[in-house]
Amino acid sequence: MPESPAVLARESAVFTRYLAGVSTTPYVTQAYARCHPTMPALAKGVPDRFDRFLVRVATAGGPFTRIADAYARRVRPTGLLRQKLVLMCAVLESSPPAHDYLNTAAAGSVAATVVRIGLAGVTSVLATLAGVLLLGPAHLALRGKGVAA
């Protein structure tokens, strides 16, 4: 079943903010939406309930996006949420308003860079731990559940 324009618009807004820290644009939303039919996770049939659950959590925005993404990276690295985020990254790096951000470096000294990497790593680990605590139970509950809504 194709996803509704309203759902995709919401994803576009949340994922653009998450990946590039800016507001989405009608162009980004339109490009993101029109690329969905060729996304492998959707092209091969309806994704399972846990995949769709992860997308719903991520779309709540704020810290939930990162927690769902970090957890998905561990347990569903090729699943629906990761594919949607990769698609959004591809759209953002190719067009305004975020291509400059994605294609520049975080400039600074080697020491500042090491600190930056450390912080990103720690935040990701914390997000993964939060994912295990918050999403792990749902993962167990939905394990083996098919595609029914």
Partner 1 sequence: MTHVVVVGSGASGVHFALTALERGHDVTMVDVGLERPAPVEPGASIEGMKDRLADPAAWFLGEDGRNVVYPATKASYYGFPPSKEYVFKTPGAFRSRAEQMVPVFSFAQGGLAEAWTGGAYAFGPTDLAEFPFGYDDIAPYYAQVAERIGVGAEPDDLAQFIPCDAPYLPPLPFDPHSAHLVARYQRVRPALQQDLGFFLGRSRVATLSRGHRGRQGCGQLGRCFWGCPNESLYTPSYTLRELRQHPRFTYKPGLLATHLEQDAGARITAVVARPVDGGDPVRVQGEAFALAAGALPSSALVLATHHAHSGEVASLEGLMDNRQVHVPFLTPAMMGKEVRTASYQFHLLAFGLTERDPAEYVHAQITTLKAAAVHPIVQGLPLDLAGSLGIFRALRTGLALANVNFHDRRRAESRVTIVPRPDGPAELRISYVDDPQEEALVARTLGRVKKALGRLGCVVPPGMTRVLPKGTSVHYSGTLPMTRSDGGRFSCTPEGRLRGWSNLYVADGAGFSFLPAKNLTFTLMANASRIATALA
Q: Which residues contact partner 1 by CB under 8 A?
A: 18-19, 27, 31, 34-41, 65-66, 69-70, 73, 77-78, 82-83, 85-87, 89-91, 93-96, 99-100, 102-110, 112-113, 116-117, 120-121, 123-124, 127-128
Nearer to partner 1, 94 or 149 (CB): 94
Nearer to partner 1, 59 or 128 (CB): 128
Q: Yes or no: say if 81 and 87 are a contact pair by the CB < 8 Å rule.
A: no
Closest contact distance (angstroms) between CB of 109 and partner 1 is 6
Q: Which of 19, 15, 7 is nearest to 99 (CA)?
A: 19
Nearer to partner 1, 46 or 89 (CB): 89
Closest contact distance (angstroms) between CB of 4 and partner 1 is 18
Closest contact distance (angstroms) between CB of 74 and partner 1 is 9
Nearer to partner 1, 51 or 149 (CB): 51
Nearer to partner 1, 102 or 140 (CB): 102
Q: Yes or no: say if 52 and 80 are a contact pair by the CB < 8 Å rule.
A: yes
Closest contact distance (angstroms) between CB of 148 and partner 1 is 25
Long-range pairs, 85-92, Cβ under 8 A, ≥24: 85/15, 85/18, 85/19, 85/58, 87/32, 87/35, 87/36, 87/39, 88/11, 88/12, 88/15, 88/16, 88/19, 88/32, 89/19, 90/35, 91/28, 91/31, 91/32, 91/35, 92/16, 92/19, 92/20, 92/28
